[in-house]
Structure 1
């Protein structure tokens, strides 16, 4: 039993190592030149470090920069030896030259002197926390020793002190959020509201590797009183929809709209004006061809307003449905619309496999006070549907315009 438990723990650590490290060592070497050029504005202003070093070889700062650049360029053993010699000489002239310390640390690591490399990296970190490659090495070393708190601490330092680290570290950290040990440490880190926190949450909502994991992570954050902006929660709903995970999407959608009922459409009176609607909310659609579509407030509640120039048509409004099999009625009321029957807008319910389940025409406002109604049948092979309002192209010079004051799709 103990052997099996130990094996599981070892496997867990191994998985965590892959998740957290994410090939950081290899990436760090590749980024060496980029990192050094980003941190050397003053040296580059004077010309290349090589020329500056030739002019002032006793300036430890310039020597340290040159050493780092030579070592990161990976020109072979001879060049690395030269870089190490310059780095040592630079530290004699300038003991606080961080690039020189980092150069020697990487050189020691490459030569297999791990204990010496760690000592140097720790010293580099003590001198300055703005050296990204030092933080990357310390992250990897912490993971190697299964020290998750220390790894997250260095993630925090790297992300706070080096904005370019976002692109490098966010994908790796995003893949780790489902690990309970990592979450346990990450939560208090995010609770301190670091400058990178909101950007990381936004990254998860738009680019996270698994929207199901992201939804679970956001639930845990909210449970721990950490604010997740609604735009990011909506982003996860839409990511789940895009992955055809409709039931998961609905379950998470209900954390935003707790009163929502999947047996009918939502917001019949257009009362919600959302900055970030999900697929389950009314979503106005506009186009470059002049179609306009907006949800507007009125004295009573709200209204959907649309217009299209002459000869232009298309989708102006839609909402995703997850209706169980059965018969449904669509009923509502329009205003302003005045078109021939052939040019009248219409509602259509489409199964997500592309099948059309029926249409309901929107009459002129003068006809029965703009009221409209119709029925649809949803079968078992259609678990998700989209309700859309379509504007037909009109030959009228003024085009098509109108408003929908009320619309509801519900079981018969």
Structure 2
């Protein structure tokens, strides 16, 4: 082998060893920089990642107390790697803490150019936009942060839910929700739990245009309507109900009182109990060849079998229905109860089923809705039989109608 060839092989060996050392050194430096910046420095790995990590660690431990050292490490990182986003964030934060806001804005704008996935950058940009009253830019950064990081939603959504009660925030937020960002289900859950659902939920639900035929979206819509009704805003909940199914009977005082075409959007459609002791089922029977609501109680069970929220204006109304399978000897008959959804829950009607056989018998009652009672709740309630009589066929109710007195 010639000396020239030997030299070439030796050179290749040296170069290979050098490349291996560089790769190992770089890898060790990166790992140490992330896990232990101080150890990285002690071993001589003064990488950009290590410098930036030390700057961030100092910022987290002593914000505002060691500005010069933090800035020195951040600048050292940027001299080694001008696109190190952590170093830019550290330097931008120090700059902001020293009240040099315009310079900090430039640094965080650069950090966002480097990576929109950097959460500290998005959080600072949110805060800065809010401080300047710039709602839409703030919401844009909310969107970016919650899109790239699921963990930020627990931090940001409670704040957003509180802010959304203001029309200034609600309007641009609705424009954002129209696009259905990835985090919209978590947002709706947070809005439903909001202490001010009356102002937060309607614009958000309207913007999302939840589809009743999609099970997940239907569940959110039902939860939102129930939350609004419970908060005393049943008319606003009913507006969402009408928007979700425009073909519903406009102005109907009671929906599906004949139990023929029962919708599945409670609380304005019938909500049936399905418990271990008390339940309600709609099945063929009752008046004519249609369906009726059949009531069942096991083991002396009692309680609500069905309910529906009503929006009866102040007036006097007559209620009629047909009930069946309620023997004369039954002491505690099922009842129709209508009460206000106001804070006092005043009862407007408590009407027992008529005693009847399988063919049914009419029942009638009067409802007087006072002023201030803007929404009501109708319940079909099953009581335990005190003597066990009538334990055979299930009681049923059909053809419930409500009309203003004199309108029949």
TM-score by length of 1: 0.71
- Check the 8 A contact 2:337/2:350 in 1, yes or no: yes
Q: Output one character per residue of 1:178-212: Cα deviation in whole Å (capped at 9) or x when no partner.
A: 546873x5555444433224543454355373424
Q: Output one character per residue of 1:314-335: Cα deviation in whole Å (capped at 9) or x when no partner.
A: 112122223332131231344x
- Check the 8 A contact 1:273/1:296 in 2, yes or no: no
Task: Flag structure 1 segments of 5+ consecutive residues without an equivalent.
Answer: 1-41
In structure 1, distance between residues paired with 2:176 and 2:311: 38
Question: Do structure 1's residue 71 and structure 2's residue 59 form an aligned pair?
Answer: yes
In structure 2, distance between residues paired with 1:70 and 1:399: 77
TM-score by length of 2: 0.72
Q: Show the counterpart of 1:317.
A: 306
Q: Show the counterpart of 2:15.
A: none
Q: Secondary structure in 1 aligned to 2:88?
A: helix
Q: Show the counterpart of 1:408.
A: 401
Q: Secondary structure in 2 aligned to 1:215?
A: helix
Question: Do structure 1's residue 329 and structure 2's residue 319 form an aligned pair?
Answer: yes
Q: Output one character per residue of 1:143-166: Cα deviation in whole Å (capped at 9) or x when no partner.
A: 455555433332322222122332
In the superposition, relative to structure 1, how do residues 109 and 382 fare at CA in structure 2: closer, same or farther (>3 Å)? closer
Q: Show the counterpart of 2:266.
A: 277
Q: Output one character per residue of 1:49-107: Cα deviation in whole Å (capped at 9) or x when no partner.
A: 555665564243244234313312336613x5443333333334444332222111111
Larger Rg: 2
In structure 2, distance between residues paired with 1:168 and 1:268: 46
Q: Alpha-carbon deviation of 1:273? A: 5.4
In structure 2, distance between residues paired with 1:66 and 1:304: 70
Q: Show the counterpart of 2:352.
A: 361
In structure 2, distance between residues paired with 1:108 and 1:46: 24
In the superposition, relative to structure 1, how do residues 148 and 268 fare at CA in structure 2: closer, same or farther (>3 Å)? same
Q: Show the counterpart of 1:60.
A: 48
Q: Show the counterpart of 1:239.
A: 227
In structure 1, distance between residues paired with 2:32 and 2:394: 60
Q: Alpha-carbon deviation of 1:269? A: 2.9
- Equivalenced residue count is 360
Q: Alpha-carbon deviation of 1:134? A: 0.9
* RMSD (Å) for aligned C-alpha atoms: 3.9
Q: Show the counterpart of 2:16.
A: none
Higher relative contact order (CA 8 A, sep 6+): 1
In structure 2, distance between residues paired with 1:53 and 1:340: 91
